Every structure is written in C-alpha cells, then in structure tokens.
Amino acid sequence: MPSVIMIVAGISSIVSDFVFPPNEPADERSFQINSRSGHTAYLCSLVSIIFTILLYQYNVIIELLYVLLFILVIHILSFPIALRVHNNIN
C-alpha cells in the first residue's frame, strides 16, 4: 500500500512539473491557474469522498482499505489533473 501512495505522489509531481517547469518565473497567470485548479480539485475530492462512502455503505466495495486507498489516490491526483485541464483551457 505505501508503494502505491509513492507512485501516485510521483505521478502528481511529474504532472505538476510539466505544467509549470521549475525554471519558469511565476506570474499572474500561473497564480490564477493554481487557484482555479485548487478549487476544482477540492470540489472533485469532496464529490469522490461522498460517492465512495455511498459505494461502501451499499456494499459495492467491501473492503474498507480499498475505500481509503481510492479516496487517497483521487485526492492526490485531482490537483494535477485539474492543473493540466486549466492550463490547457487558458
């Protein structure tokens, strides 16, 4: 289980570096994209938590550890995905 979390964190870091390289100076556009991405990621995390709890409550997902892993993976990956989407829109 810790290896899955490390892989997801590595993917998150790589996607974030592709969107905003470390040597690129920060400007108003990047702050705006980060802000929008944060709001979108927060909303996606809340929706996924509610959806996953409902799946667990209705016994679609039996194991509690799978529920927690799914919530953690979605929570970690939602920001880089939202960052990539908002960067392509602007």
pLDDT at 1: 64
**How much is the pTM?**
0.78
d(CA 69, CA 74): 9
pLDDT at 5: 78
Q: Residues 65, 66, 68, 74: what is their CA dihedral angle, to the nearest 10 degrees?
A: 160
How far does CA 13 lie from the centroid of its chain?
Answer: 11
Tens of pLDDT along the chain (90 residues) come to 678 878 888 888 888 888 777 787 878 888 888 899 999 999 999 999 999 999 999 999 999 999 998 998 898 889 888 988 888 886
53-70 pLDDT tens trace: 999 999 999 999 999 989
